[in-house]
């Protein structure tokens, strides 16, 4: 900007003399012709000619204007010229020592008012130079003001100027008005603090005393919502007036909160998964020995007691499954599912879950497409959300389950674009505060006296494991909507889906099995069961011992059953060695973690070669037969 | 002449001042200030001569127009022409003649021409006197300068 303004300072200064008196004109031109003046003076006698010159390509830098001309006289002469060339310096030369006229012309933009006969050459030259410089300064200021005004008006951040004493806004841009949710005219004349949280007034005063500062405050909108604002404060940008720059950081804060929540959930999930793994090993030992007791029971009472132990371990196992589901480590049996059909099958159970005071409304479209999920897990999601809705409506209400297609065009940071199936469970219950909403998916978090705090965390884990998304809308006394979004499977993929089935298997066998597990009790119980089924069982406490046994053994080992996480040498090492030395032998991995533990340990076996602890010996027997029959065929 | 020592003209042409001061002797009065005029034209004798020539012609025309305006009671033309001749007289530092022109301008502005003819007569007389003084002044200045042709430009 400065460069533009200074550009015309180089070279001669163009002066236009507008004077119809030949004596005055000759005098002024004579005074200006000195070489040191560096001026080029053009002379016209009429205002009309002057206006023409002003419209030329190279207009004058300054106009020396006599007010009384043949075609115009008095103030009107100046006024017409100024309107035609508002950015040109004008110096009025008058034969009238009229102070009132002088003040008026200068006030309206003339740079000076000189009375004829009262100045000599030096005074005139000085007046001309001052006039041009003043005009350039004015122009620079005007351009600067235009720039500042443009920034002010177009800024995406809110800008407010307010009185230091009263705090009342004297200037506010549109962004600031949008931020506080009122028209701009309404914001001007009010205090910014009127829209903030009450505690902020003191903070504001403290910053005012400091002179500058930045921080955050909440703005409460008339529609009940609130926005977090990052502010930057500078005092006395104008005498007695302060400046506040405001930036809406609500979305950023929400994203940060989501990230924190997500990281917390991941951490809790890992912890839950770890606990469940150890717990599963213990449960495996208990249920294994209970099954052996049951098999070897001589009296019905003994069998019944063993049955009770097995039943208790199954309940405990159910709890660990929920923990694993939250930690996304539950074994999934993925199928292409029609969620509407799953819902249809669950309908009666949903009605049983809620009390008579609750009305149930199920809206389920037909042929919505398929999702890839575990049916029992999906059922658990529906039942957990139903239970949650019921608990939110102790005095009755309406529970609505909606299943529909949802096309996400993108732009949602939490969910990529694509086609989804939306399963929404809504209630008209007590609703939740934002604080409660932020914690509902944490395991063991509950607002109920009797709740386990695992219901919604299980839902969360299952949805995430199924590569879906879950969203919650709720407000106190306005009910809640839990929306689960599961990716719809492409149609061609649905057509290729193989039919799944089960086959009854004989659990007896006589092959040789190498059993590797560092849990001594579980290994012993499992070996005892397998020997009871007719197998020859070789046992090893870790991977290293397993290799030594395998290498020493001359016979055929039909199957190796190995834990994954073990000291000295893990399941991967065992598997690699067996594949190398006994390529005909099958390998069945067992783990307290889910089957996604195998890839993590570099094990490239299909899910059919994996069994998650705790397993029943029945299940183990069936799996062994399935693998052996498959390899022999 | 009451000259400032810092005056650029005086500093450059100090050797000429004494004789020029003598050139203005007897010309200065309440109605005409040759020193102020000489300063205004920045010591340019040629410029002064040109101005006088232009003024002689212009003054004659303006006096004639004022005469017609008075005769025809055209107050607007009286105001305009009197204002114009007043401006020229101010440039020559001819205070007495400028004051008479101002009175005529005010009469025109006030749309009353009473006494205008008499004042026009006085103005004509003052201008005649002024022109005599101006010519005397230029003659003396030309004689006072070591090289009259360089009297103006040589000082710069």
Query: If you write DSSP's letter for every residue of A2-53 in order, what string do you get?
Result: HHHHHGGGSSPEEEEEE---HHHHHHHHHHHT-GGG-EEEEEESSHHHHHHH
Which of A74-88, A230-244, A321-335 has the weakest average pLDDT? Answer: A321-335
pLDDT at A217 over 70: yes
Which of A350-359, A457-466, B6-15 has the weakest average pLDDT? Answer: B6-15
Touching check for B55 and chain A: CB below 8 Å? Answer: yes
Task: Report strand pairing: A158-163 vs A241-248.
Answer: antiparallel
Cα Rg, chain B, nearest whole Å:
17
Strand partners, A248: A229
pLDDT at A605 over 50: yes
- The predicted pLDDT at position A413 comes to 76
Touching check for A21 and chain B: CB below 8 Å? Answer: yes
Touching check for B49 and chain A: CB below 8 Å? Answer: no
Give me A510's structure tokens. 């006589």
Task: Report strand pairing: A89-94 vs A112-115.
Answer: parallel
Nearest alpha carbon to residue A588 among A553, A628, A554: A628
Nearest alpha carbon to residue A454 among A266, A350, A326: A326
Count of CB atoms situated within 10 Å of the CB of B98: 25
Q: Each residue of A159-193: pLDDT tens digit?
A: 999 998 888 999 999 999 999 999 999 999 998 88
Which residues 110-139 in chain B show a CB within 8 A of chain A?
Answer: none
- The predicted pLDDT at position A5 comes to 37
Contacts of A119 in chain B (CB under 8 A): 40
Helix (H) or strand (E) holding A537: strand A536-540
Our CA-based measurement puts residue B98 at a distance from the nearest CA of chain A, in whole angstroms, of: 10
Touching check for B44 and chain A: CB below 8 Å? Answer: yes
Touching check for B109 and chain A: CB below 8 Å? Answer: no
* pLDDT over 90 percentage in chain A: 36
Count of CB atoms situated within 10 Å of the CB of A214: 13
Our CA-based measurement puts residue A123 at a distance from the nearest CA of chain B, in whole angstroms, of: 10
pLDDT at A2 over 80: no
Distances (CA, A) of A275 to A98, A328, A633, B34: 99, 13, 40, 114
CA angle A541-A542-A546, nearest 5°? 90
- The predicted pLDDT at position A40 comes to 87
Contacts of B47 in chain A (CB under 8 A): 26-27, 30
pLDDT at A113 over 90: yes
B39, B58, B83 ranked by CB distance to A23: nearest: B58
Contacts of B51 in chain A (CB under 8 A): 23, 26-27, 30
Contacts of B41 in chain A (CB under 8 A): 27, 30-31
Count of CB atoms situated within 10 Å of the CB of A142: 12
- pLDDT band of B144, cuts 50, 70, 90: low
* pLDDT over 70 percentage in chain A: 89
Which is higher by pLDDT, A403 or B12? Answer: A403
Length of chain A: 633
Sheet with A358-364: strands ordered across: A358-364, A397-408, A418-427, A480-487, A469-474
pLDDT at A194 over 60: yes
Residue A112, burial from CB neighbour count under 10 angstroms (0-12, 13-18, 19+): buried
Residue with tokens 């002010």: A152
Contacts of A34 in chain B (CB under 8 A): 42, 156
Which of A76-85, A103-112, A348-357, A496-505 has the weakest average pLDDT? Answer: A496-505
B8, B54, B156 ranked by CB distance to A26: nearest: B54
Dihedral sign (CA A251, A254, A259, A262):
negative
Q: How many CA atoms lie within 13 A of B97 on its CB side?
A: 27
B40, B51, B83 ranked by CB distance to A68: nearest: B83
- pLDDT band of A504, cuts 50, 70, 90: very low
- The predicted pLDDT at position A437 comes to 83
Nearest alpha carbon to residue A381 among A358, A350, A406: A350
Nearest alpha carbon to residue B36 among B1, B83, B7, B88: B1
**Mean pLDDT score, A55-80:** 90
CB-based contact A20 B84, cutoff 8 Å: yes
Nearest CA in chain A to B89: A117
Give me A158's structure tokens. 């809110």
Omega of the bond prior to A614 within 30 degrees of 0, cis?
yes
- The predicted pLDDT at position A414 comes to 80
Contact A158, A179 (CB under 8 A): yes
Contacts of B98 in chain A (CB under 8 A): 117
Nearest CA in chain A to B83: A95
Nearest CA in chain A to B155: A34
- pLDDT band of A121, cuts 50, 70, 90: confident
Contacts of B50 in chain A (CB under 8 A): 26, 30
Nearest alpha carbon to residue A615 among A314, A197, A230, A370: A314
CB-based contact A117 B50, cutoff 8 Å: no
**To the nearest whole number, what is the mean pLDDT of chain B?**
81
Which residues 66-85 in chain A show a CB within 8 A of chain B?
Answer: 66, 68, 73
CB-based contact A117 B8, cutoff 8 Å: no
pLDDT at A497 over 50: no
Distance CA A351, CA A344 (A): 12
- The predicted pLDDT at position B3 comes to 36
- The predicted pLDDT at position A601 comes to 65
Which is higher by pLDDT, A217 or A321? Answer: A217
Chains A & B: contacts with CB separation below 8 Å: 70
pTM metric for this prediction: 0.50
**To the nearest whole number, what is the mean pLDDT of chain A?**
84
B35: left (phi over 0), alpha (psi -120 to 50) or beta: alpha
- pLDDT band of A611, cuts 50, 70, 90: confident
A26, A35, A73 ranked by CB distance to B50: nearest: A26
- The predicted pLDDT at position A4 comes to 35
Strand partners, A422: A404, A485
Sequence-separated (6 or more) residues with CB below 8 Å from residue A234: A211, A212, A242, A243
Touching check for B60 and chain A: CB below 8 Å? Answer: no
Strand partners, A612: A591
* pLDDT over 70 percentage in chain B: 78
pLDDT at B109 over 60: yes
Give me A258's structure tokens. 């989501």
Q: Each residue of A539-582: pLDDT tens digit?
A: 999 999 999 999 999 999 999 999 988 888 888 889 999 999 99
A27, A73, A96 ranked by CB distance to B51: nearest: A27
Touching check for B65 and chain A: CB below 8 Å? Answer: no
Most A CBs within 10 A among B55, B88, B108, hence the mutation to make, goes to: B88
Our CA-based measurement puts residue A214 at a distance from the nearest CA of chain B, in whole angstroms, of: 58
pLDDT at A267 over 90: no
Our CA-based measurement puts residue B114 at a distance from the nearest CA of chain A, in whole angstroms, of: 22
Q: Each residue of A299-357: pLDDT tens digit?
A: 898 888 898 898 888 878 767 776 666 665 555 667 788 898 888 877 877 887 787 78
Contacts of A125 in chain B (CB under 8 A): none
The helix/strand/coil state of A446 is coil
Most B CBs within 10 A among A23, A66, A120, hence the mutation to make, goes to: A23
pLDDT at A112 over 80: yes
Three-class DSSP labels, chain B:
CCCCCCCHHHHHCHHHHHHHHHHCCCCCECCECHHHHHHHCCCCHHHHHHHHHHHHHHHHHHHHHHHHHHHCCCHHHHHHHHHHHHHHHHHCCCHHHHHHHHHHHHHHHCCCCCCHHHHHHHHHHHHHHHHHHHHHHHHHHHHHCCCHHHCCHHHC
Residue with tokens 């010159």: A53
- The predicted pLDDT at position A355 comes to 77
**Mean pLDDT score, B89-118:** 93
pLDDT at A432 over 70: yes
CB-based contact B90 A96, cutoff 8 Å: no
What ipTM describes this predicted complex?
0.78
Distances (CA, A) of A213 to A152, A206, A207, A483, B68: 20, 10, 6, 42, 78
**Mean pLDDT score, A14-29:** 92
Distance CA A190, CA A195 (A): 9
Distance CA A341, CA A335 (A): 13
Contact A471, A483 (CB under 8 A): yes
CB-based contact A34 B58, cutoff 8 Å: no
Helix (H) or strand (E) holding A251: helix A250-296
- pLDDT band of A1, cuts 50, 70, 90: very low
Which of A8-22, A114-128, B30-44, B124-138 has the weakest average pLDDT? Answer: A8-22
Which is higher by pLDDT, A11 or A70? Answer: A70
- The predicted pLDDT at position A223 comes to 82
Touching check for A123 and chain B: CB below 8 Å? Answer: no
Q: Each residue of A40-57: pLDDT tens digit?
A: 899 999 999 999 998 887
A23, A35, A66 ranked by CB distance to B54: nearest: A23
Contacts of B99 in chain A (CB under 8 A): none
CB-based contact B39 A120, cutoff 8 Å: yes
Distances (CA, A) of A525 to A505, A528, A617: 22, 5, 9
Which is higher by pLDDT, A601 or A297? Answer: A297
Sequence-separated (6 or more) residues with CB below 8 Å from residue A512: A535, A536, A537, A538, A553, A555, A556, A557, A558
Touching check for B88 and chain A: CB below 8 Å? Answer: yes
- pLDDT band of A409, cuts 50, 70, 90: confident
Sequence-separated (6 or more) residues with CB below 8 Å from residue A194: none
Distance CA A373, CA A421 (A): 12
Which of A194-198, A315-319, A406-410, B118-122 has the weakest average pLDDT? Answer: A315-319
- The predicted pLDDT at position A26 comes to 92
Count of CB atoms situated within 10 Å of the CB of A543: 25
Touching check for B8 and chain A: CB below 8 Å? Answer: yes
- pLDDT band of A64, cuts 50, 70, 90: very high
Distance CA A564, CA A586 (A): 15
CB-based contact A27 B91, cutoff 8 Å: yes
pLDDT at A503 over 60: no
**Mean pLDDT score, A463-492:** 89
Helix (H) or strand (E) holding A408: strand A397-408
Phi, psi of A110 (to 5 degrees): -70, 145
């Amino acid at each position: 900007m400065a460069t533009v303004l200074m550009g015309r300072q180089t070279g001669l200064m163009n002066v236009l003399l507008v004077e119809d008196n030949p004596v005055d004109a000759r005098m002024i031109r004579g005074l200006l012709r000195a070489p040191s003046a560096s001026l080029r003076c053009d002379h016209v006698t009429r205002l009309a000619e002057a206006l023409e010159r002003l419209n030329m390509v190279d207009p004058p830098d300054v106009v020396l204007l006599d007010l009384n001309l043949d075609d115009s006289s008095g103030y009107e002469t100046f006024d017409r010229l100024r309107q035609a060339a508002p950015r040109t310096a004008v110096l009025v030369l008058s034969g009238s020592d009229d102070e009132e006229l002088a003040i008026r012309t200068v006030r309206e933009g003339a740079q000076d008012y000189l009375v004829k006969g009262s100045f000599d050459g030096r005074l005139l030259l000085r007046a001309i130079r001052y006039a041009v410089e003043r005009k350039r300064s004015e122009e620079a200021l005007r351009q600067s003001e235009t720039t500042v005004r443009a920034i002010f008006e177009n800024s995406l951040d809110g800008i407010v100027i307010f009185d230091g004493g009263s705090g009342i806004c004297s200037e506010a841009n549109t962004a600031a008005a949008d931020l506080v949710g009122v028209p701009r005219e309404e914001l001007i004349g009010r205090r910014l603090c009127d829209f903030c949280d009450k505690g902020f007034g003191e903070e504001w005063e403290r910053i005012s005393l400091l002179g500058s500062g930045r921080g955050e405050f909440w703005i409460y909108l008339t529609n009940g919502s609130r926005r977090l604002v990052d502010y930057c404060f500078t005092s006395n940008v104008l005498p007695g007036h302060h400046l506040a720059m405001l930036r809406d950081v609500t979305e950023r804060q929400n994203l940060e909160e989501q990230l924190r929540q997500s990281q917390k959930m991941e951490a809790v999930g890992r912890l839950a998964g770890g606990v469940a793994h150890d717990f599963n090993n213990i449960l495996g030992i208990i249920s294994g020995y209970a099954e052996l007791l049951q098999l070897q029971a001589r009296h019905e009472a003994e069998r019944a007691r063993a049955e009770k132990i097995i039943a208790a371990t199954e309940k405990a196992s159910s709890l660990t499954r929920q923990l694993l589901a939250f930690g996304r480590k539950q074994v999934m049996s993925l199928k292409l599912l029609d969620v509407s059909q799953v819902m249809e099958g669950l309908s009666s159970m949903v009605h049983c879950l809620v009390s008579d005071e609750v009305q149930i409304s199920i809206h389920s479209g037909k042929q919505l497409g398929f999702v890839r999920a575990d049916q029992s897990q999906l059922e658990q999601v529906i039942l957990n959300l139903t239970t949650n809705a019921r608990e939110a409506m102790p005095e009755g209400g309406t529970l609505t389950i909606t299943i529909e297609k949802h096309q996400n065009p993108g732009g949602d940071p939490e969910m990529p674009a694509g086609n989804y199936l939306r399963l929404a469970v809504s209630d008209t219950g007590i609703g939740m505060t934002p604080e409660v909403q932020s914690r509902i998916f944490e395991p063991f978090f509950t607002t109920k006296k009797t709740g386990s705090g695992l219901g919604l965390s299980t839902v969360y884990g299952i949805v995430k494991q199924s590569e879906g998304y879950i969203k919650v809308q709720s407000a106190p006394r306005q009910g809640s909507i839990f929306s689960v979004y599961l990716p719809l499977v492409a149609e061609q993929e649905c057509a290729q889906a193989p039919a799944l089935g089960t086959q009854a298997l004989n659990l007896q066998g006589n092959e040789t099995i190498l059993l590797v597990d560092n849990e001594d009790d579980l290994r012993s119980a499992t070996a005892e069961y397998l020997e009871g089924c007719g197998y020859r069982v070789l046992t090893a406490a870790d991977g290293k011992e397993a290799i030594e046994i395998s290498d020493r053994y001359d016979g055929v080992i039909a199957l190796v059953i190995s834990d994954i996480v073990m000291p000295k040498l893990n399941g991967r090492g065992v598997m690699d060695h067996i594949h190398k030395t006994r390529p005909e032998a099958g390998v069945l991995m067992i783990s307290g973690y889910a089957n996604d533990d195998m890839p993590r340990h570099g094990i490239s076996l299909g899910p059919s070669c994996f069994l998650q602890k705790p397993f029943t010996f029945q299940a183990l027997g069936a799996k062994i037969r399935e693998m052996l029959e498959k390899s022999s065929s | 002449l009451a000259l400032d020592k810092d005056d650029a003209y005086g500093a450059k042409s100090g050797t000429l001042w004494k004789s020029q001061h003598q050139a203005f002797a007897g010309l200065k009065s309440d109605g005409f200030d040759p020193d102020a005029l000489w300063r205004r034209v920045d010591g340019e004798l040629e410029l002064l001569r040109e101005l006088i020539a232009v003024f002689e012609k212009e003054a004659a025309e303006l006096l004639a127009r004022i005469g017609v305006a008075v005769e025809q009671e055209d107050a607007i033309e009286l105001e305009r022409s009197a204002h114009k001749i007043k401006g020229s007289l101010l440039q020559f530092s001819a205070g007495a003649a400028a004051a008479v022109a101002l009175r005529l301008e005010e009469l025109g502005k006030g749309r009353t021409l009473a006494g205008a003819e008499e004042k026009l007569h006085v103005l004509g007389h003052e201008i005649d006197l002024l022109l005599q003084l101006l010519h005397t002044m230029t003659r003396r200045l030309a004689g006072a300068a070591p090289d009259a042709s360089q009297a103006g430009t040589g000082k710069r």
